[in-house]
Amino acid sequence: RPTDLEHHRALHGLTRALLAGMVRGVVEGYRVELEIVGVGYRAAKHGNALSLQVGYSHPVDVVPPSGIQFDLPQPIRIVVTGIDKELVGQIAARIRAIRPPDAYKGKGIRYADEQIKLKPGKAGRTVGGKV
């Protein structure tokens, strides 16, 4: 670094962290696992593309950019892998955004390690509508 100014120290650390992440990506690779929860919700692979059936009237296709691969160990599990940490996370977030987890039943696409906090349903009413 040119000087010991705070700005130069910060840029030095940032550059070091980015380079370390790039090296780790090439050596080990990055992966994000997603789960599909819901009756009839599933994923299938057609060539490189991913086809998701998640409650819409049509399947949703996701085409991976170069450097990203999709693996399907099970029809309800998606593994996104690649060497670019940012791109792997971005594609995983895009897939999750297709059908984010529902707040009441938890149906949808979630990260494998994500805990969904479910809301309670409506308070029950007695028969006849009187309390």
CATH 3.90.930.12 given to domain 30-111:
yes
CA–CA distance, 84 with 31 (Å, rounded to integer): 10
- Flag residues of the chain having pLDDT under 70: 124-131
Query: Are the CB atoms for 109 and 98 separated by under 8 Å?
Result: yes
Q: What is the pTM of this model?
A: 0.84
Measured CA to CA, the distance from residue 20 to residue 116 in angstroms comes to 32
Under 8 Å between Cβ of 42 and 74? no
pLDDT of res. 112:
93
- Three-state DSSP class for 53? strand
Tens digit of each residue's pLDDT (9 = 90 or more) over 20-39: 989 988 889 999 999 999 99
